[in-house]
Amino acid sequence: MSALTIEGLKEILNEAAGEDDSFKAGQDILDTPFLELGFDSLALLETVALIKRRYGVGVGDDELADIETPRELLAKVNGDLAA
């Protein structure tokens, strides 16, 4: 399975929580905290559920609590994918 890219993550974010204008394709959101992107804990739970289905990588609830930015989420998912 190829790695999850930031653009791939954006698609998943939009699918999980609904599309709005808080970020666009091409825009750098790697270090923008999820809260600033309008993602509360439930939206993130829905996001990681989608990642689990697509990539087979699970993110535990306690791990999720420490993930604040897209960069951190990508590192966790791609680290597990590579392992």
Partner 1 sequence: MTRAVVTGIGIASPNGLGPTAYWRATLHGEAAIKPITRFDSANYWAKIAGEVPGFEAGRHLQGRLLPQTDHMTRLTLVGTDWALRGAGVQPNDIPDTDIAVITAATAGGYEFGQRELQKLWHQGPEYVSAYQSFAWFYAVNTGQISIRHGTRGPGAVVVSEQAGGIDSIGHARRQLRKGVKLALTGGMDSSLCPWAWVAHQASGSLSRNNNPRRAYLPFDRDASGYVCGEGGAIMVLETPESAAERPGTRVYGEIVGYASTFDSRMPSREPGLKRAAELALRDAGMDASEIDVVFADAAGIPELDKAEAEAIKGIFGPFGVPVTAPKTMTGRLFAGGGSLDVASAILSIYWSAIPPTVNVENPVPEYEIDLVMNEARHGKVKAALVLGRGKGGFNSAMVVREYR
Residues 16-23: contacts with CB within 8 Å, 24+ apart?
16/43, 16/46, 16/47, 16/49, 16/50, 17/43, 17/46, 17/47
The nearer residue to partner 1, 46 or 68, going by C-beta atoms, is 46
Choose, by CB under 8 A, the member of 18, 31, 36, 65 that binds partner 1.
18
Choose, by CB under 8 A, the member of 4, 9, 12, 16 that binds partner 1.
16
Tokens at 9, concatenated: 């993550």
Using CB under 8 A as the binding criterion, the count of chain residues that bind partner 1 stands at 14
Choose, by CB under 8 A, the member of 6, 8, 11, 46 that binds partner 1.
46
